[in-house]
């Protein structure tokens, strides 16, 4: 992944998130899932396998997905080996023939930990923008 190297931990984390965004836009769910931890937990108890199925399903419905993120807010944890990343995200998709047929603005909070020099996504929660 592009997040390898000797960059500071926060910079490597930002590169990992950017690589995941690029993987979605290129329709490469396997690349997206690479940094997702085996013990991942998402909304409603969604596990890693469920996240992969959800992503593949969305890519089948919308083969031309674009992802626009707001600025990442990164809060580094103890010893820079854990982090919380918050951002807004607009997912748009459609056939690619016209303007996006679907769009969905979400607020996302994700939990990360560093394992053997690689950032792993272990939790995520998302909700529609402005929902309480």
Secondary structure of 31-63 as H, E, C letters: HHHCCEEEEEECHHHCCHHHHHHHHHHHHHHCC
pLDDT at 99: 42
pLDDT at 132: 67
pLDDT at 22: 94
pLDDT at 61: 79
pLDDT at 15: 97
pLDDT at 94: 56
| 62-to-30, 58, 102, 109 alpha-carbon distances in Å | 17, 6, 9, 24
pTM of the model: 0.86
- Would you write out the chain's pLDDT as a tens digit for each of its 132 residues? 444 557 899 999 999 999 999 999 899 999 999 999 999 999 999 999 999 999 998 888 777 778 888 999 999 998 999 999 999 998 777 554 444 445 678 899 999 999 999 999 999 999 988 776
pLDDT at 5: 53
């Amino acid at each position: 992944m592009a997040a390898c190297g000797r960059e500071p931990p926060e910079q490597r984390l930002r590169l990992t998130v950017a690589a995941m965004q690029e993987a979605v836009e290129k329709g490469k769910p396997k690349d997206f899932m690479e940094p997702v931890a085996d013990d991942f937990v998402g909304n409603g108890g969604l596990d890693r396998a469920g996240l992969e199925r959800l992503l593949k399903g969305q890519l089948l419905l919308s083969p031309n997905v674009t992802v626009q993120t707001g600025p990442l807010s990164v809060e580094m944890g103890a010893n820079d080996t854990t982090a919380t990343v918050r951002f807004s995200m607009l997912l748009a998709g459609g056939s690619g023939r016209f303007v996006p047929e679907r769009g969905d603005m979400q607020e996302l909070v994700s939990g990360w930990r560093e394992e053997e020099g690689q950032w792993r996504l272990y939790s995520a929660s998302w909700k529609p923008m402005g929902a309480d």
